[in-house]
Structure 1
Amino acid sequence: MSFRRTPVIVAIGFAAACLPALAQQPAATMDVGAATAPGKAVAAQTIKTSAKIVSLDPATRTITLKRQDGKVSTVVASDELRNFDQLKVGDTVKAEYVQALALDLKKGGGGKAEVSSSEGMSRSQPGQKPGGMAARQVTVLADVVSVDAKKKTVTLKGPAGNMVDLTVDDPEQLKNIKKGDQVQALYTESLAIKVEPAAK
């Protein structure tokens, strides 16, 4: 299942431009976690990274960043970025990107397969250093149409009729899932950017 990037994530501008330039090993740290309980599973990933501003061009809104590994990247901040004039050479740009997926088995089904989403955003106030946060949640309720114990797969049918095969390695979890059940998936992503002034 893939999720396209929505305007709320792109709207921060600066964040969307900076993250790909920054989030590469060894300049970034990544934390990954997962947990399961009967009929439930959760997985999450967090990427944290930072870089120093080494040059600025206000005329073209170009920002040159030096990562922790010494590599230099150049990004152009969109007009959506507030307070560009508050950026200074030597400031540190910090980014945190989180993705999480929670699955919840609904025994016996009965609900209508559907998808819903919500999103929100906050940006720095005028006069502050640029930054902000954007978040999005997508909830999908899908029908279990088959369970293959030998292949350890569960086939789900989504609201648009699309079929997705999930691999379930835990035999206890797989035993608990039957045709006619439903699975609710909650996908969350968030991106936070803040700029810290250079140490004096």
Structure 2
Amino acid sequence: MNFKKLAAALLFAGIAGTAFGADAGAAVVTVPGKAMVAGQVTYTGEVTAVDATTRVVTVKNAKGESYEIVAGPEVKNFAQIKVGDALVIKAVQALTLELKKGGAGIRERTDAVDGVRAAEGEKPGAAAGAKTTVIADVVAVDRKTGVVTLKGVHHSMKLNVKDPEQLKLIEKGDQVKGTYVEAIGVAVMPAAKPAAK
């Protein structure tokens, strides 16, 4: 399963992060030789129009801005989407970096993806996750600027290390293991029923 394609389908092929009211949170944790940053964002909007012929769904965010989104064939149970439904998108991302002293390993990269979709007849919804693990060589350390140059399997990159205590631990010839995890979930929730009078 192609994560990027599924994520695009989940987001109805065009919802930008700024399109919806967003509720975001992030955390950073460090210990000697390890660092992790993780964040979560929730986007919400209300379905204001559904065109079954063109599969265009119009969604309005909390600011009152409207967006037209094409729900491609990947979006199952399209007929279940109704005006007044809420579209809820949750995205979680995490990056963990771990210093491997002395190197001696090989550079490598592994990717894994997985996903699930709503069952037949249910409101559209899906979740997908992707995990990438990279082991890269430390090829240069610039202590004045705090920049560490890493060489991975396919390309090199510069890592800006702001914590001087972490920077002291890194030497040319070490390796860094990076693990990036991203998960996204989309749900169409039925419109709230009016209260009984």
Between the aligned partners of 2:176 and 2:15, the Cα distance in structure 1 is 32
Structure 2 counterpart of 1:199, from 179, 187, 192: 192
CA contact (8 A) 1:30 1:46 kept: yes
Runs of 4+ in 1 over 3 A off after TM superposition: none
Between the aligned partners of 2:5 and 2:26, the Cα distance in structure 1 is 24
* Matched residue type, 2:179: L
Deviation at 1:26, TM superposition (A): 7.3
What corresponds to 1:17 in structure 2? Answer: 13
Consecutive unaligned residues of structure 1, counting only runs of 5 or more, are 1-5
CA contact (8 A) 1:9 1:16 kept: no
* Matched residue type, 1:66: K
What corresponds to 2:175 in structure 1? Answer: 182
Deviation at 1:125, TM superposition (A): 0.4
Deviation at 1:25, TM superposition (A): 7.4
Structure 2 counterpart of 1:82, from 50, 72, 76: 76
CA contact (8 A) 1:152 1:169 kept: yes
1:1-200 aligned at under 5 Å gives the runs 7-11=2-6, 13-17=9-13, 19-20=15-16, 23-24=17-18, 27-160=21-154, 162-200=155-193
CA contact (8 A) 2:19 2:67 kept: no
Between the aligned partners of 2:192 and 2:20, the Cα distance in structure 1 is 23
Distance 1:26 1:10, change over 3 A: closer
Deviation at 1:110, TM superposition (A): 1.3
Q: Normalization by structure 1: what TM-score?
A: 0.90
Between the aligned partners of 1:122 and 1:26, the Cα distance in structure 2 is 23
What secondary structure, in the 3-state scheme, does the structure 1 residue paired with 2:11 have?
helix
CA contact (8 A) 1:41 1:103 kept: yes
CA contact (8 A) 1:53 1:64 kept: yes
1:122-170 Cα deviation digits (max 9, x unpaired): 000000000100111111100011211112111111112x221111121
Q: Normalization by structure 2: what TM-score?
A: 0.92
Alignment length, in residue pairs?
A: 192
Deviation at 1:45, TM superposition (A): 2.3
What secondary structure, in the 3-state scheme, does the structure 2 residue paired with 1:126 have?
coil
Consecutive unaligned residues of structure 2, counting only runs of 5 or more, are none
Between the aligned partners of 1:182 and 1:16, the Cα distance in structure 2 is 39
Identical positions, percent: 40
* Matched residue type, 1:56: V
Worse overlay, 171-180 or 123-132: 171-180
1:52-111 Cα deviation digits (max 9, x unpaired): 111111111110111111111110100011101111111101001122111000111111
1:156-198 Cα deviation digits (max 9, x unpaired): 11112x2211111211111111111100011111110011101
* Matched residue type, 2:6: A
